[in-house]
Amino acid sequence: MDSAPIASTPGLDLAAIRAEFPILAQQIHGRPLVYLDSANTTQKPQAVIDAESAYYATINANIHRSTHLLSERATQAYEGARRRVQRLIHARESREVVFTRGCTEAINLVAQSWGRANLRPGDEVVLTWMEHHSNIVPWQLVCEQTGARVRAVRITDRGELDLDDFRDALAGPSVKFVSLIHVSNALGTVNPVEELVRLAHERGVPILVDGAQAVPHLAVDVQALDCDFYAFSAHKLYGPTGIGALYGKAALLEQMPPWQGGGDMIASVTFERTTYNEVPYKFEAGTPNIAGVVGFGAAVEWLQRFDMAALARHERSLVEALTARLDAMDGIRIIGRAPHKAGVVSFVVEGVHPHDVGTILDSEGVAVRTGQHCAQPVMDRYGVPATVRASFGIYNTTDEVEALVAALGRVRELFG
């Protein structure tokens, strides 16, 4: 497969795209690397690697604080990345973008800042059964602190959100907040977020959308969605680890108290009283991951070279190709068959634990994720301990789908 020509999707030159990712040129256990774990973390193009390296080599200084030239350059690079993120998700203002350590920290920020200020005993926070743990545990923590409680909306056998149950969950007067995933990391389901936001707002309930699995695959417009908060990570959209962003409507961010205290989030400090900086800086305490933000901005700039509709079509074609091939194999059960899916296919092999499947696939050079995918309620819903998950990025090809299928044949040989 490494010597065959790579077929391209209209709008995407896959051979040229793959050449921008140095890690894809290596071999694993003597075989060409087939990387099918992008829902876990994406690989990084050379442009992102170079941007971080260049920051440390030529700019490295703290931001917002010093008057020397390096600090001014670092500040410009940092704020320039914020504006790139703003444009990526179509936020109204750059101050509506708060840099965090990732999607997890962004959700924790809202839970601890908005949640502790607004939730009271008996209130409800509505989640869904398809949430990642990072959109469950922060709300459990704040509910323990405030006396509120979590309510989870069911999902169907196909892996879609039960809209009737969602409407029922919103019907009571105790619902004060909704937090849900845009694209399921375990199932690939694309939720009808615009409709869900509308239903929540009809009840006067604010809503946060976990967009970690959506932004790399779909065109996201937070103004069109009208969501109150939107959280995502850089490392799932071809950027660095340890950095992400929270979008929040400016009026809400201004009302919320700081979550962490320290340098740069203050206006003035005395032992009697502290006043806080304006948004978004009120929520960015301490020296941030400046190099990570620079890499984040480079990843956004790199991704925006491509037609997101073409990218979505490409990944959809890979999902359809793999689904068809797995359906033709005996003893394989696909978990999650929603008609609207992003680049994720989860499955189990009859009689073989997913971890054993993953180990054999790795010996064939195929990298997938096995386990609960930080989504244990999803596994409980389908009565499985874990799944094998193949997840696609912009650089994957139909040849790699065939490599996975061939490696699964090896699993069948070894386990009969």
Residue 362 C-beta-side C-alpha neighbours within 13 Å: 11
Give the closest residue to 148 by CA, choosing from 126, 131, 133, 172: 126
User: Is the CB of residue 171 less than 8 Å from the CB of residue 201?
Assistant: no
Structure tokens at 167: 């409407």
Amino acid letter, 396? N
Give the closest residue to 285 by CA, choosing from 295, 293, 276: 276
Give the closest residue to 358 by CA, choosing from 416, 393, 404: 404
User: Does 227 participate in catalysis according to the annotation?
Assistant: no
User: Is the CB of residue 21 less than 8 Å from the CB of residue 33?
Assistant: no
Q: Per the residue annotation, which of 103, 143, 227, 374 is the catalytic one?
A: 374
Q: Are strands 274-276 and 366-367 parallel, antiparallel or unpaired?
A: unpaired
Q: Is the peptide bond before 10 cis (omega within 30 degrees of 0)?
A: no
Give the closest residue to 292 by CA, choosing from 95, 40, 84, 53: 53
User: Known catalytic residues?
Assistant: 374
